Structure 1
Amino acid sequence: MKFIQNPFGYERILKKEDLGSGKKPKGSRASDWKRTLSRIWRIVDEQRALLVMVLVMVVISSALSLIGPFLIGRIVDYYVVPGKFEGMRTIILTLIGVYVVLSISLFLQNYWMIGIAQQTIYRMRTGVFEKLLKLPVSYFDQRQHGELMSRATNDIETVSSTLNSSFIQVFSSVLTLTGTVLVMLYLSPLLTVLTMLIIPLMFWAMRWITRRTGKLFKEQQAALGALNGMIEETISGQRVVKAFSQEERVIEEFRAKSSRLRMVGFWALSYSGYIPKVMNGLNNMSFAIVAGMGGLLALNGHVSIGTIVIFAEYARQFTRPLNDLANQFNTVLSAIAGAERVFAVMDEPTEEDNGSRDVQLRGAVAFRDVSFKYDATAEHDTLRHVHFAIEPGQTVALVGSTGAGKTTIMQLIARFYDTASGCVEFDGRDVRSIARQTLRSQMAFVLQDPFLFEATVYDNIRYGKLDATDEEIVEAAKKANAHDFIMKLGEGYNTVLSADGSEISQGQKQLLSIARALVADPVILLLDEATSSIDTVTEMKIQEALEVLMEGRTSFVIAHRLNTVRNADVVLVLQQGEIVEAGLQEELIARDGMYASMLKAGKDIDELLDR
């Protein structure tokens, strides 16, 4: 599949194999769509009572839609043709009653079905969101966030629109089709056979079209997810885009992705759009057959004029359900493609959390010959034979260039990932024997780029401990040197911050994150020091707050400034995934190795190691 340039932009050239030859791609499972429908049905079936009422209304409306044309034919035969109008009033009132009840049944079935559909979508949306929160960090590291958002919104919305309309339409069409054929056979078997001559043509046309549209609709959902992923990524990184003047390149990339979605959507809708056109043509052909042959049979006295009227209406009513089924088939294909993407997320393995939940950490941490790599197929390990032991209450500075393995050590301590070989121990226990939730509930993180929620200052700090009182939050803010600037905000602690915290500075966001960690009262701290891009005055405030936060707690600090290293109990110098130096600062100076060279230079650690 490729794009070529034309005067109007990028056009996607769809090869024959792109459109689908009807053959299953290698490795695909023919039963996938059945499994997906079965899973949707299990959710719908939980509202069985309401569903039964909907089906009853569908049966009633389908029956009444057959009775109406039958009564019209009888009016023609018994009253219009003979010119006899006595008693006609009763049958006309009956006909009006039929259509009134038909309207009521249609309203009720649609009303109840909307409720079923919305409850089903609520279950799916809630299920996928809950699953996203239970998935490991590695899952999000490997996927675009916007693409995941597309699955939780666009794909589920496609399922919603299909349930709202297609479910009733398909069931009603099947019933109407069956009833119509039976009544037509009762009235005139010959005309029924003539009417059904178009069915083979309908099925052939349907098969030819749907073999191509199914693959295209699935590709359309994937292209939409990729486009949403790029949009989310661009909006999140728009400062970087502007800083490097990459607007034109991003626009071109967007145009290419958007053009791909446009062309896939064009061909999907074009092929599916053939269906009503073909069906209308065959419908007119059927009507012409009924009118012509019915007229000849009526002239020979084989059928009445009323029967021809009924058959003309039934012939149209016979092809209408086929047309509806054909149109809904494309909608259902699109919904199945979306549902498969949603269920693919829901089927992902979650983080196993079977360890002990009754563990109170003291703060001793040890790495025992730990080796690790993010990608099992990678040639080299990210960490190689890392070995160290930290006592409770010690501060550990992790020093090293970009890619040395500092963040990976943090990830393993928090058990965002598990080791490939060796083990991480807490108080002499393998970390895998401790439940993740129990482990992380006794940790706190202060990241280099703090994240705030769209909520009040109270709520953002309370995120560290949801049952914290307002007094505890204020006390934590004072210890974090955040109280003064909070009180200067419009509504103090009740000020609502935006998701990106644009109302306050980077340093102030960092102070709030430190206050959040103080409220949590953790045993172990993981700190990605965030003072490298902060002004000197703010840095001093943050440093003071960090000293209060780290007091009496085991702390791991990714060090970017030498000030942090000087205050550490243990310094671990990493290079290419290995610890090349470890010990007290004085010991490392005495060795006159890499760390000593950095001190002599008196520059930032990252800058020295990257040279």
Structure 2
Amino acid sequence: MKEKNVFLRTWSYLRPYKVSLLLAVFLKALTSLMSVLEPFILGLAITELTKNLLAMAQGLPGAQINTPYIFWILLLYFTRALFYEIGSYGSNYFMTKAVQASIKDLRHDLSLKINRMPISYFDRHQFGDMLGRFTNDVETVSNALQQSFLQIINAVLTLILVVGMVLYLNLQLAMIVIISIPATYFSARFILSKSQPYFKKQANVLGDMNGFVQENLTGFNVLKLYGREERSSKEFQKITSELQEVGFKASFISGIMMPVLHAISDMAYLLVAFFGGLQVLSGTLTIGNMQAFVQYIWQVGQPIQTITQLAGVLQSAKSSLERIFQVLDEADEISQVREELSEDLTGQVSFKNVSFQYVEDKSLIREFNLDVEPGQMIAIVGPTGAGKTTLINLLMRFYDVTSGAITVDGHDIRHLSRQAYRSQFGMVLQDAWLYEGSIKDNLRFGNLQATDEEIIEAAKAANVDHFIRTLPGGYQMEMNQESSNISLGQKQLLTIARALLANPKILILDEATSSVDTRLELLIQKAMKRLMEGRTSFVIAHRLSTIQEADKILVLKDGQIIEQGNHQSLLEAQGFYYDLYMSQFSQKEA
């Protein structure tokens, strides 16, 4: 994406609302015209009054104020003011309508884009930085379009109209006004080129700050627990100091423009006042046109000053647009749908010479092979970093294999629609996730077509129905934003019930019972045993007591299967699994 195209690309969002936009521009042009006509109309009145007063002072016969002429000039002035106000209000109304609609479309595109992006993108970017692009950056663009677009249109039209008026009134004085325009423009452009890099860096540092604040607020209890408040404060001060530095440089350099432009305007004003005064004395320029020229000097300076005042807003908007379009330009998940997925999967899964690496030249899984028959329960154990969760990420197509293939019922999963493929899975993660809403809605998330009766049956199967009915409001109880109004173990029970409601072909349980006590763990195991009948299940477990009935236990280490078998055979082998088991249970319990 070329930086110079970001504003041009924004037009694609404004184009659908071009009628409102054109009306806004037309009315703003009317406003500009009425504004430029003001000095000329006043000049007519001043010239006539001056002529009448001089005649009366000289005692010329019949000398008097030309009242009818002055009346019509004042009426013209009032009409001009009326059109000015109508144009000003109308242009703001239609511009607001167009901008807000286009920003809504931009947010919608960002939302759709997020759903098409691979999981790896979110692993590489801070959540707070992503949040900043959706909120701060979009709002910055909205404000810039709302505040700046019409003002820039007004500034450009005012410059054109003023040049036309001064050329009409007096060619010699007009040259002074015209020469001041490029002098002002190139001075402003030079200063802008020096400040733009700092505005861009300011937007990036602001994204870093958002990410830091989000992380620290999320983990605030842990910070308090370990007494890391001072360290966190110092890190925040470091980020804010950098933000202060780049913000100061950006604002200071931009701020130089105003004194420079004022100096150019003042010089033009002095030249017009001197040479215009000489022409008035010589009778080649009327006093009314002289005052019109003086006002036009300020009308030339004001639009350029307006643009420079908006320079900070425009540069911030440009930086924000670059960050937004970086997200929109990210590659989507690769979709190579070549085969249709049968709804009647048996759950036969095969890993064939699978290799995978998150980072190039750092292989995690190498030449991994595994065959799982339909209905089998496969338990996956091993030390941290062995590749257990990575194996599930590959199975779910959160990542694609580097080499080799994973097949389900003979279908290479890379050739299937991700949405259709993932709909065959039920998944309960170690980190329980619920959203703000009622318990019933959270359970229905697993199957949007589920009836109330089916939700209750799933809750009963997960042994969570009784707990729900003891809550205030029962199934209608509202979860708060962080789901902190129930315990972590209770959240896990609800996510298990949600997975049961989905009625999947293949189950994935990533330490699903880690957050419940022993009594509830036994109840959940009973429910899971009934649910797993006839379904292929993958269970990642650290509590080895939960997988003793698994058909096959895979012991992973460094991305390789070092042992496999059932619980009893692995104990008899007295290898790695035996040592792992004995570390959790006493010799007597074993």
Provide Cα deviations, 1:373-422, integer angstroms capped at 9, x if missing partner. 1112xx33111111110011111110100000000000001000010111
Whole-Å separation in 2 of the counterparts to 1:120 and 1:85: 54
- C-alpha distance 545-242 of structure 1, shift in aligned 2 (>3 A): farther
> What is the percent sequence identity of the aligned residues?
39
Question: Contact (CA 8 Å) 1:359, 1:438: kept in 2 or not?
Answer: no
Instruction: Say yes or no: does 1:74 pair with 2:24.
Output: no
- Indicate which of 364, 371, 374 corresponds to 2:358: 374
Q: CA deviation at 1:194?
A: 2.4
Q: 2:482 is paired with a residue of what secondary structure?
A: coil
Provide Cα deviations, 1:82-124, integer angstroms capped at 9, x if missing partner. 2323221121011011011101101100110011111111111
Whole-Å separation in 2 of the counterparts to 1:352 and 1:51: 37
Whole-Å separation in 1 of the counterparts to 2:316 and 2:558: 48
Question: Contact (CA 8 Å) 1:210, 1:330: kept in 2 or not?
Answer: no
Q: CA deviation at 1:246?
A: 1.3
Q: 2:433 is paired with a residue of what secondary structure?
A: coil
More off after superposition, 60-69 vs 363-372? 60-69
The residue type equivalent to 1:359 in the other structure is: S
Match of 1:6 in 2: none
Q: CA deviation at 1:601?
A: 4.6
Whole-Å separation in 2 of the counterparts to 1:276 and 1:362: 73
Q: Which runs of 5+ in 1 are unaligned?
A: 1-28, 605-611
Match of 1:3 in 2: none
Match of 2:346 in 1: 362
Q: CA deviation at 1:39?
A: 1.1
The residue type equivalent to 1:366 in the other structure is: S
Q: CA deviation at 1:255?
A: 1.0
Whole-Å separation in 2 of the counterparts to 1:176 and 1:324: 11
The residue type equivalent to 1:73 in the other structure is: G
Match of 2:150 in 1: 168
Instruction: Say yes or no: does 1:85 pair with 2:66.
Output: yes
- Indicate which of 31, 39, 56 corresponds to 2:26: 56
Q: CA deviation at 1:286?
A: 2.3
Q: Which runs of 5+ in 2 are unaligned?
A: 54-64
Q: CA deviation at 1:461?
A: 0.5
Match of 1:25 in 2: none
Match of 2:272 in 1: 290
- Indicate which of 544, 552, 558 corresponds to 1:576: 558
Q: CA deviation at 1:431?
A: 1.0
Query: Within 5 Å, which residues of 2 pair with 1:585-600?
Result: 585-600=567-582
Whole-Å separation in 2 of the counterparts to 1:603 and 1:56: 81
- C-alpha distance 590-120 of structure 1, shift in aligned 2 (>3 A): same
More off after superposition, 530-539 vs 270-279? 530-539
Instruction: Say yes or no: does 1:256 pair with 2:238.
Output: yes
Q: CA deviation at 1:600?
A: 4.4
Q: 2:67 is paired with a residue of what secondary structure?
A: coil
Q: CA RMSD in A?
A: 1.7
Q: CA deviation at 1:602?
A: 4.5
Instruction: Say yes or no: does 1:398 pair with 2:380.
Output: yes
Match of 2:333 in 1: 351
Q: CA deviation at 1:219?
A: 0.8
Question: Contact (CA 8 Å) 2:185, 2:304: kept in 1 or not?
Answer: no
Question: Contact (CA 8 Å) 1:448, 1:528: kept in 2 or not?
Answer: yes
Match of 1:416 in 2: 398
Match of 1:104 in 2: 86
Question: Contact (CA 8 Å) 1:367, 1:388: kept in 2 or not?
Answer: yes
The residue type equivalent to 1:68 in the other structure is: E
Q: CA deviation at 1:33?
A: 3.1
Question: Contact (CA 8 Å) 1:117, 1:163: kept in 2 or not?
Answer: yes
More off after superposition, 203-212 vs 575-584? 203-212
Q: CA deviation at 1:556?
A: 0.6
Query: Within 5 Å, which residues of 2 pair with 1:38-53?
Result: 38-53=8-23
Whole-Å separation in 2 of the counterparts to 1:330 and 1:600: 66
Count of matched residue positions in the alignment of Structure 1 and Structure 2: 572
Instruction: Say yes or no: does 1:121 pair with 2:78.
Output: no
Q: CA deviation at 1:357?
A: 4.4
Whole-Å separation in 1 of the counterparts to 2:519 and 2:3: 62
TM-score by length of structure 2 reads 0.94
Question: Contact (CA 8 Å) 1:393, 1:553: kept in 2 or not?
Answer: yes
- Indicate which of 211, 217, 224 corresponds to 2:206: 224
TM-score by length of structure 1 reads 0.91
Whole-Å separation in 2 of the counterparts to 1:169 and 1:251: 41
Q: 1:82 is paired with a residue of what secondary structure?
A: helix
Match of 1:20 in 2: none
Question: Contact (CA 8 Å) 1:384, 1:578: kept in 2 or not?
Answer: yes
Question: Contact (CA 8 Å) 2:443, 2:495: kept in 1 or not?
Answer: yes
Q: CA deviation at 1:78?
A: 1.5
Instruction: Report runs of 4+ in structure 1 exceeding 4 Å deviation.
Output: none
Question: Contact (CA 8 Å) 1:359, 1:434: kept in 2 or not?
Answer: no
Match of 1:441 in 2: 423
Match of 2:116 in 1: 134
Whole-Å separation in 1 of the counterparts to 2:36 and 2:584: 91
Q: 1:572 is paired with a residue of what secondary structure?
A: strand
Provide Cα deviations, 1:431-477, integer angstroms capped at 9, x if missing partner. 11211101110101111120010110011101101111111111111
Whole-Å separation in 2 of the counterparts to 1:552 and 1:564: 19
Q: CA deviation at 1:588?
A: 2.3
